[in-house]
Amino acid sequence: MNELHLQDKFLIPFFREGLGCREVKANTVTNSLIIEEDLQEFISQTEPECTTQLIRREIILSNQ
């Protein structure tokens, strides 16, 4: 079993079905690290609870 198998069979379905997140296209990282349009699309289409969890996590990590 390799990383891609785990991702496709377990992780992605967990994020979509378990957490209510939506999968967006790959390669959202550029030289400036984030494509703002992709981030806006992700936030607008994702369940509010999932977005709130991600924001809290980023705040905690940025304060460390």
The 10s digit of each residue's pLDDT in 25-45 is 666 565 566 677 777 777 777
**Which pLDDT score, from 0 to 100, does residue 32 have?**
65
Residue scoring higher pLDDT (39 or 5): 5
Domain extent, residue 32, equals: 3-62
Residue 22 near residue 15 (C-beta atoms within 8 A):
no
Overall number of domains in the chain? 1
**Which pLDDT score, from 0 to 100, does residue 2 have?**
82
* Rounded distance between C-alpha atoms, residue 43 and residue 53, angstroms: 12
Percent of the chain whose pLDDT exceeds 90? 0
Q: Does this model's pTM top 0.75?
A: no
